Amino acid sequence: MAGAALSFFGVTLETIFGLIGQTPDSMIELGRRFIAWAAPNVMLGAFIVLPVWLVTWIFLPPRDY
């Protein structure tokens, strides 16, 4: 529905990028920089959360359903 409405009004990705002063190449570079920033933070969180979850899961008493 949203895509049909945007197409009806002639809104394209290039016009949106033009309104915010960006190009597709600059948006790709921005995405790469975001991934380069986010990946280490996600891995750090996983190194903390996963062992805590595993130890908690191992030592919890079994549930009776």
Of residues 49 and 64, more confidently modeled = 49
Is the confidence at residue 64, as pLDDT, over 90?
no
Domain boundaries, the chain: 23-60
Which ranges constitute the DSSP H helices of the chain?
Answer: 2-8, 13-19, 24-59
For the stretch 3-46, pLDDT in tens is 899 999 999 988 999 999 999 899 999 999 999 999 999 999 99
Q: Is residue 63 left, alpha or beta, with left meaning phi > 0 and alpha meaning psi from -120 to 50?
A: beta
Residues 48-59, mean pLDDT to the nearest whole number: 94
pTM listed for this prediction: 0.59
Of residues 52 and 64, more confidently modeled = 52
